Amino acid sequence: MINSMTALLAVHYGPHAGRATSQSNGINSLSSMSGTFFVGLLATASLDWRLGLLLPIPCGIALYFLYRHKVTDEEVREDVRQSGKLGKKFWIGWLGLTACISTEFATGFWAASLLTNRTGLSTAVATTAVLAFSSGMAVGRWFSPIVLAKFDLDHRLLL
């Protein structure tokens, strides 16, 4: 899905694809943040935090009813047969992307446990504190392309 989304944004936004991709990932971080928030809220309310795992069900139903009319058949091309292998650059990029996403997820999942073990915070407070991680990702991914556009490539790399 991530590779497809990146390709779609590249085609749709052309020269601004990098900014669109970064900002869409910022919005994705907000959804991650909302999941962490609700799980922490459930744990704080003395309810079982596992109820938060049911959160995708009402979200999926809401998305279906909000966006079911926006899907068009024009986007599906069944008459074109794809062939060939994916190149070496794709697999290197895919491996890097997978490593980055795995690190991000591991940090998000592991941080609450680390806070609980090292600082003695309750599970509910530690889970809610992990919101800072997702918040930082969302803000950084949204505003970085705007701020960094003012710097040349060498200065971006140094930053």
Instruction: Count the alpha carbons within 13 Å of 18 in the hemisphere toward its beta carbon.
Output: 6
Q: Report the distance separating Cα 76 and Cα 138, nearest Å.
A: 31
* Closest to 108 in 3D by CA, of 86, 128, 85: 128
Greater pLDDT, 155 or 109: 155
What pLDDT sits at residue 77?
59
Question: What is the residue extent of each domain of the chain?
Answer: 18-69+86-158
For 37-46, 51-60, 104-113, which range has the lowest pLDDT when averaged over its residues? 37-46
